Amino acid sequence: MSDKRKELIVSAISNGTVIDHIPTDRVFQVIKILGLDQLSNPLYFGVNLESKKFGSKGIIKVSNKFFEHEEINKIALVAPSATLIEIRDYEVVDKRDVTIPETVDKIVKCVNPNCITNKEEVTTHFNVIYDENNVMKLSCRYCEKNTSKENIFFI
C-alpha cells in the first residue's frame, strides 16, 4: 500500500468568506442567488465533498467578499445547514451557522401574480411559517399566499 497523499489542496483565502456545509444540490443555486458568478473576485467551489456530518456537502470560498444581512438570509432559505466563516489575514475571525429568519423582506417575490407587491411598487414582506410536516414556507403579509421552498424566486 502506498503512502501517497490523497487529498485535494485548495488555496487558502487571505480575506473573504467561506460558505461551508451547503447541500451538494444547492451549491450552484447559492452562487446564482448571491450573484457570485458576476464577481471578478476569485471564487472556489466544490460539490460532492466528503462530510462527516452530512455524508456529502458543497463549499464556496469567495475572496474579498463579506455578506450583508439580506444575502445571509438568502443563503439560509436555500441552504439552512450552511456555515459562514469569515477570514481576515488568513485567520478565522467569525464562524456561525446561518439561521432561517422569522421574516423575509425585500429579497423574495410573491408567487401570487395578483398580489399588490407584483402590481405596484410595494416592498415584499413574508413571515416564515412551518406546515404540519415542519416544512418551511413563506407567507405573504399582503395576500397571505404561501410560497414553498422550491418556488422561492429571489428578486
Q: 57-106 pLDDT, tens per residue?
A: 999 999 999 999 999 999 999 999 999 999 999 999 999 999 999 999 99
| Residue partners of 65: CB distance under 8 A and separation at least 6 | 16, 17, 36, 39, 41
The pLDDT of residue 53: 79
Strands 43-51 and 83-88: unpaired
The pLDDT of residue 71: 96
Which fold is adopted by the domain 15-97? Alpha-Beta Plaits (3.30.70)
Question: pLDDT confidence of 8, banded at 50, 70, 90?
Answer: low
The pLDDT of residue 11: 74
Which uninterrupted H or E stretch holds 18?
strand 15-22
21-25, 32-36, 48-52: least confident range: 48-52
The pLDDT of residue 29: 94
Q: Where are the domains of the chain?
A: 15-97, 103-154
Q: Does domain 103-154 have CATH number 2.40.160.20?
A: no
Residue pair 62/43 in contact (Cβ under 8 Å)? The answer is yes
pLDDT tops 90 at residue 1: no
Q: What is the mean pLDDT of residues 27-46?
A: 94
Q: What is the mean pLDDT of residues 19-37?
A: 95
The x, y and z cell numbers of residue 30, run together, are: 447559492
Three-state secondary-structure class, residue 67: coil
